[in-house]
Structure 1
């Protein structure tokens, strides 16, 4: 009896040790840890809030729109007092996005104005489960946008992005988000 209790305790310790070693920071964990922290703003947006007139969409745009479930945004607003904190937070996100599960699709920008990268998880071609847009502005801060859905296609999502230009996103409830990118 005493031996079996010792064996159970040893097994529990082993399981806890293995689990604690496997607790790398993920983008989801980063969102949860940061969403209420000072300097951060977070927003989850279901596609129904985007107020897109589906009758004006091309077939590819409609497919892209229907494949998206929601957008999750996490932004850090920079000011003169938190530049060092911003640099630390950017380093954390870059470390997370270096994981091999994030496939890089595009990058751009410059060191003066800011940079962006688009990555994806979970599929190839027409079968992507999540797109991640990470962008920073040296003056304004940074933003991480997770586009979550099922069987999304990057090219179709890019076509859908043109709808926001055509429909002037500033006329919607996202005025503050749009300001971040100007």
Structure 2
């Protein structure tokens, strides 16, 4: 009798595990699946690698900066010969980002380039902020901003202040060369 109960419990736990895993593709899964794929580049960038002069930061900017731990970059470079693959990959990313768990923060379009910013979490504390940019002639890039208790509104202020930041050129050079 005891052995039967153990088998039943084991079967229930195994079933629950497989059902909870689901077969939906997540952004994390997309990164992992494509990190070694042709025309893709990935880069993990610790926030400490950004050489930022924080002396002029407001308290709000300082708080937003300290909430970020690292940036995950995934880029896809398009080629004239393979626009079909580009469109397929672009559609996959758009499908993933259309999931209800991604809250819209901002959309910007300019001369065929589009940037979308989304986040996972609440308005007060985002677990992840996603910056997705695409341009048919170059490809697309996804940056996952990961940290603790990131405030989406404050992150907008921080991103504006980072436009003039010093970034380790060697780390970014691989990314910039990839899109040339």
TM-score, normalised with respect to structure 2: 0.83
Match of 2:121 in 1: 122
Cα deviation digits, residues 44-86 of structure 1 (max 9, x gap): 1111001112223221111111000110010001111222111
Contact preservation (8 Å) 1:121, 1:131 = yes
Using the TM superposition, give the Cα deviation of residue 154 of structure 1 relative to its aligned residue in structure 2, in angstroms: 1.9
Residue pairs, 1:79-94, within 5 angstroms: 79-94=79-94
Match of 2:52 in 1: 52
Out of 116, 123, 142, the residue aligned to residue 140 of structure 2 is 142
Contact preservation (8 Å) 2:123, 2:152 = no
Return 5+ residue gaps in structure 1 as ranges. none
Which moved further from structure 2: 142-151 or 166-175? Answer: 166-175
Cα deviation digits, residues 125-169 of structure 1 (max 9, x gap): 2x1110011110111000011001111112221222233322355
Rounded to whole Å, the distance in 2 between the matches of 1:181 and 1:162 is 23
Contact preservation (8 Å) 2:47, 2:71 = yes
Change (3 A) 1:55 1:29: same
Contact preservation (8 Å) 1:135, 1:143 = yes
Rounded to whole Å, the distance in 1 between the matches of 2:73 and 2:82 is 20
3-state SS of paired residue (1:31):
helix
Which moved further from structure 2: 87-96 or 54-63? Answer: 54-63
Return 5+ residue gaps in structure 2 as ranges. none
3-state SS of paired residue (2:133):
strand
Rounded to whole Å, the distance in 2 between the matches of 1:178 and 1:157 is 24
Rounded to whole Å, the distance in 2 between the matches of 1:123 and 1:79 is 38
Q: Does 1:35 align with 2:35?
A: yes
3-state SS of paired residue (2:25):
coil
Computed over aligned residues only, the root mean square deviation of the Cα atoms, in angstroms, reads 3.1
The number of aligned residues is: 178
Rounded to whole Å, the distance in 2 between the matches of 1:17 and 1:55 is 49
Residue pairs, 1:1-182, within 5 angstroms: 4=4, 11=11, 15=15, 18-19=18-19, 22-110=22-110, 112-125=111-124, 127-167=125-165, 169=167, 173-175=171-173, 177=175
Rounded to whole Å, the distance in 1 between the matches of 2:140 and 2:97 is 14
